[in-house]
Structure 1
Amino acid sequence: MQKPLLVTDFLDRARRYYGDHEAVVATTGERFTYDEFGERADGFAAALAERGIEKGDRVGVLDPNTHYHLEAAYGAMQLGAVHTPLNYRLTPDDFEYILSDAGVDAVFADYEYAEKIEAVRDDVPTEVFVTNDADAVEGDWESFDEAIETDAGFERPEMAEDDVITINYTSGTTGDPKGVCRTHRTETLHAYLVALHLDISDDDVYLWTLPMFHVNGWGHIYAVTGMGAKHVCTRGIDAGGIFEAVAAEDVSYLCGAPTVLNLLVDYYGDHGDVPTTGDNDVRVATAGSAPPEAVIRAVEDDFGWYLSHVYGATETGPLITTSDARRFFDDGSSARFGVKKRQGIGFLGTEVRVVDEDGNDVPQDDATLGEIVVRGNQVMDRYWNKPEETEIAFSDRIEGYYHTGDLATVDSDGMIAIRDRKKDIIISGGENISTIELEDTLYEHDAVADAAVIPAPSDEWGETPKAFIVPASGDPEAPGTTEEEIVDFTREHLASYKVVRRVEFVESLPTTATGKVQKYELRQEEWDDEDRMVGEG
């Protein structure tokens, strides 16, 4: 028989089997069982229905990983409304664009961020505005907790697994965000894969360090819920708070971009004997760029955590590969670092390829660059109202595969390793230079805390590598090193044509809320006086 795959099944299952078990630890200190969590989600669904929200309407959720996000998401989805999570680090202008582009009908916003929506409410189609603290928000906002006390009921509409149920906006590293449409089917199958490949079980205690807005928290709002595990909520990233929560709540699992891991490593180094576990062993999943070997070593050897490196994009679920292939390394061996820095092998049911310009697979020599393309049940349905961009995304080099824009090599075991973004590669004097290789080298310098390398315009070479460096001293005016020393350091470790030619010390690098460095912003500033964003090298 065939049963429709619906995201509502995840909370239904948790309520059926784990109703009286703790489901959510709120940032306020409140604790909710799955029965209580479900009742609050039901209340929000009824409140939305009272206000005219129906199947297919878009409901925005702007929230920093509190229990309200979980309740608002499931409340909306029980009506067949489209959960549209919003990045809380965006500006009012960004929200005006997204709310208008998606045609958002109702929005829940945390009190700390509601003013950004209030600033543009007269310019967007949204008509229903709900917050978790109406007294703390200027303007006409309804209270979430009061709204869910309604006596009105609601009926779930008939839903099909191919109905769009979430729209996740890209992080905007290359211009205006695009709305990534995901269906009940894609969300469900991705959550199954997450539960399997990241070993989620009903006795897990999951700490929300990863933003829930980011592709529904990598699908963890579904997988953790459906397995009947426990959510521990947060209000953003605080290294000391993460260690405290891990110990106090016996956290067993969390996720974090390499930048988050760096914060934890630095905090641990600065504060000495910090408890890193409670009663449970801890595992951590990281994604984005590969963390440096020194960070992996600190997380595993100093914290005692087990690290998995996964990879994907907003358009792909996100997760499509994992480096957690234990037949390729021994846990205690230094060889594990070489594997864990790679993006790895494809998830079950996921076809991940690295292809050349003609759509042919590159040789498994770990040297030939190609673009990562993917085909799988977790890949997006389409971009919202952008058919041309959708067509290009699925047909550039090879028909029927989503094209990630990431350039990678493949080793003899079939494990991929990203070497660069297609648009970030530096072509200097006809030579291709990997910015990732340069950044990895810079991380080995004691005076470097963070680094991003981009192509800078060069009259001689067309493009030349420039490094933006956050010094370990924290002070770009007193970085503890010099531009000349940095240049010489790269010359000592790399081929001469790969050497960094320009260096700028900065307080911080522009990043998305998920920790990705926005090289697009750095390139824009660097190429501001040029008539194009690439050199003719």
Structure 2
Amino acid sequence: MSAAAYDRDLDKNAANFQPLTPLTFLARSALTFPDHTAILHGRQAITYRDFYARSRRLASALARRGIKRGDTVSVMLANTPPMLEAHYGVPMTRGVLNTLNTRLDAAILAFTLDHAETKVIITDLEFSKVMKEALALAKVKPLVVDYADPEFAVEGERLGTLDYEALIAEGDPAFDWLMPDDEWDAISLNYTSGTTGNPKGVVYHHRGASLLAVGNVVTTAMGKHPVYLWTLPMFHCNGWCFTWSLSAVAGTHVCLRWVRAPAMYEAIARHKVTHLCGAPIVMSTLLNAPEPDKQPLPHVVSFFTAAAPPPEAVLSAMQAAGFNVTHLSGLTETYGPAVVNDWKAEWDHLEPAARGAKKARQGVRYAALEDLTIMNPETMEKVPADGQTIGEIMFRGNVVMKGYLKNREASAEAFHGGWFHSGDLGVIHPDGYIQIKDRSKDIIISGGENISSIEVEDTLYKHPSIQAAAVVAKADEKWGETPCAFVELRPGASLTANEVMAWCRDHLAAYKCPRTVIFTELPKTSTGKIQKFRLRDMAKSV
């Protein structure tokens, strides 16, 4: 029989082919487990029945106000129920969800609103000051919806004429929401940190969101009805797609407005949390909490971290405290984590140094990612798996972004040769596990936030007393990494470290500011290029 026979008269139709989307996960859980708790927030307990109904109300209300396929709805929200509802309600209109980083300054937020052509903005009162400035700077004039958290007393100015609950009340809980026309349709828009100039808008599609959401369930070994604590900001890559993962297994979202040790321990103990994700700062907060703030854990809790691999001492302390830590890796462009340091039982018996070397690696691809490798970016040839030869880490698969919004040149560069170029440099070990050795774009990952060293350097260069500056990552037990600035002063100028830090605070978001300032002549090559590898070595000894 010819191969063509398997295609003849066997066509795609509505009965046998539907676009992949994570929206169906919520519909299924609401049907199957309507009374199971979907969201906990303060004293609020929202069932799957109500979660689904409120998401449909939001979709209905947005549709009535003109939101349609391709329209952007931005949200400036903490880890609260409306953020979860937006992850379903917005794409139920075929609109695109843009979650804003609550730590950014007004200028960047204004750029984002304009670039995304935001039609509606839902904003928490806690962020009203910066959002008021951003809206004043922005060219777009979206409908502004204010959210006042009923569980926490948060002061702030109302920026619009419509309250979030009033918007929800407008909607139909039985709204016949829309599946995407195509699984390639955009579901969300996430902005990078902006390594040079303005940030880039990373576009996710329904297919990738669905596959990564299920990939998380597989990778984190979630059984039915897991309990997930939101220590990871949901604005980060849509909460690494866990915003959708939990609905696939009818899990419970435990919202956490502020990441504080007492609240984390209380939530873990009271709600029997099974899983949480976070940057090294979350581990530090848990471990360094005063004893009165700590509570016994109900069982071993699975903790997933990204950014720089945690030191062996931190991993040991977390294990002793009752947390099993797994290191993940990825980028905004890969829907969050797409690489996991899949731990092998035999490694538990290695000597501490050897075990630490294993834990320092990023690992292997998610099951949801089709291919991961390291190549010479010039020849596009795979480097040998010798743990020594450095190349660029590259991804290929369905959990790679559609591309950068309105930036054809950047998209083409990122996808050169049929692979996504991560910009990270690393090696492949003989067993196939990869390890990052450097970041070609000199990104500093601090507390889970990406900081562009170039942006910080540009700010330093604007100071009248600074002749030259370079910024590198300095290891930090609490934050993972922090910016370390090396400054060369102009002849006759004088400046203190505190004055440099104050200058940066006046021109940058607080988390981007250097924590360490060193005055020195910058080491340069014969062509005048600053030798950052030498600065990194110097930063280790400070």
What range describes the TM-score normalised by the shorter chain of this pair?
A: 0.7 to 0.9
RMSD of aligned C-alpha atoms?
Answer: 3.8
TM-score (structure 2 length as normaliser): 0.77
Paired amino acid for 2:430: S
In the alignment, the residues of structure 1 paired with residue 48 and residue 202 of structure 2 have an alpha-carbon distance, to the nearest angstrom, of: 29
Contact 2:400–2:420, Cα closer than 8 Å, also in 1? yes
| Aligned pairs (5 A) from 1:210-289 | 210-267=232-289, 270-271=290-291, 274-278=294-298, 280-289=299-308
* 1:5 counterpart residue number: 20
What is the one-letter code of the residue matched to 1:387?
Answer: R
Which ranges of structure 1 fall in alignment gaps of 5 or more residues? Answer: 426-434, 440-451, 473-482, 484-503
Amino acid at match of 2:407: K
How far is the alpha carbon of 1:341 from its aligned partner?
Answer: 2.0
Q: 1:466 to 1:198 in 2, by over 3 A?
A: closer
Equivalence map 1:373-392=2 (5 Å): 373-392=394-413
Amino acid at match of 2:31: R
Alignment of 1:312-391 (within 5 A): 312-326=330-344, 329-330=347-348, 334=352, 335-348=354-367, 349-356=369-376, 357-391=378-412
Matched residue, 1:487: none
Where does 1:118-517 land on structure 2 (aligned, <5 Å)? Answer: 118-122=132-136, 123-133=138-148, 136-150=156-170, 152=172, 154-159=175-180, 160-267=182-289, 270-271=290-291, 274-278=294-298, 280-300=299-319, 302-326=320-344, 329-330=347-348, 334=352, 335-348=354-367, 349-356=369-376, 357-395=378-416, 399-424=417-442
Q: CA–CA distance in 2 between the matches of 1:331 and 1:22?
A: 40
Q: Secondary structure at the match of 1:168?
A: strand
What do residues 44-88 of structure 1 show as CA deviations (whole Å, max 9, x unaligned)? 112112211112210111111011101122111111110111101
| Secondary structure, counterpart of 1:161 in structure 2 | coil
Secondary structure of the corresponding residue to residue 95 of structure 1: helix
1:75 aligns with 2:95: no
CA distance in 1, matches of 2:412, 2:126: 38
Equivalent-residue separation in structure 2 for 1:2 and 1:376 (angstroms): 20
Check 1:526–1:380 CA distance in 2 against 1; reply closer, same or farther (3 A cut). Answer: farther
Q: Is 1:21 aligned to residue 39 of structure 2?
A: no
CA gap of 1:142–1:522, structure 2 versus 1, over 3 A, is farther
Deviation of 1:99 after TM superposition, in Å, equals: 0.5
**TM-score (norm: length of structure 1):** 0.78
Cα offset, 1:230, TM superposition: 0.4
Spell out structure 1 runs of 4+ moving beyond 6 A: 452-457, 462-467, 469-472, 504-508, 519-523, 525-528
Cα displacement string for residues 255-298 of structure 1 (whole angstroms, at most 9, x for unaligned residues): 0112221222222xx437832412x4301000011111111111
Residue aligned with 2:381, SS:
coil
How many angstroms does 1:343 deviate by?
A: 0.3
**Could you say if the C-alpha distance between residues 369 and 201 of structure 1 is closer, same or farther in structure 2, counting changes exceeding 3 Å?**
same
Residues 183-231 of structure 1: CA deviation (Å, up to 9, x unaligned): 1011111111111111122221100000101011001001012210000
For residues 411-462 of structure 1, give each alpha carbon's deviation from its aligned partner in whole angstroms, at most 9, with x where no partner exists.
Answer: 111111111101339xxxxxxxxx99xx9xxxxxxxxxxxx999999xxxx9
Kept in 1: contact 2:144–2:159 (CA 8 A): no
Please give the secondary structure, in 1, of the residue aligned with 2:177: coil
The verdict on how the C-alpha distance between 1:56 and 1:273 changes in structure 2, with shifts beyond 3 A counting, is: closer
The 1:423/1:165 distance shift into structure 2, 3 A limit, reads closer
Kept in 2, the 8 Å contact 1:10–1:225? The answer is yes
Structure 2 residue ranges without an equivalent (≥5) = 1-15, 150-154, 447-451, 461-467, 479-485, 487-496, 533-542
User: CA distance change for structure 1 residues 24 and 536 in 2, over 3 Å: closer, same or farther?
Assistant: closer
Secondary structure of 1:199's partner? coil
Q: 1:173 to 1:331 in 2, by over 3 A?
A: farther
**Secondary structure at the residue paired with 1:54?**
coil
Deviations 1:354-383 (A, max 9, x none): 112422222222122111011011000110
Count, aligned residues: 466
Q: In structure 1, the residue corresponding to 2:303 is in which secondary structure? A: strand
d(CA) in 2 for partners of 1:294, 1:276: 21
Equivalent position amino acid for 1:309 in 2: H
User: Percent of aligned positions with the same letter in both sequences?
Assistant: 32
**Aligned 8 A contact 1:364 1:411 in 2:** yes
SS of the residue aligned with 1:320?
strand
Contact 2:146 2:160 in 1 (8 A): no
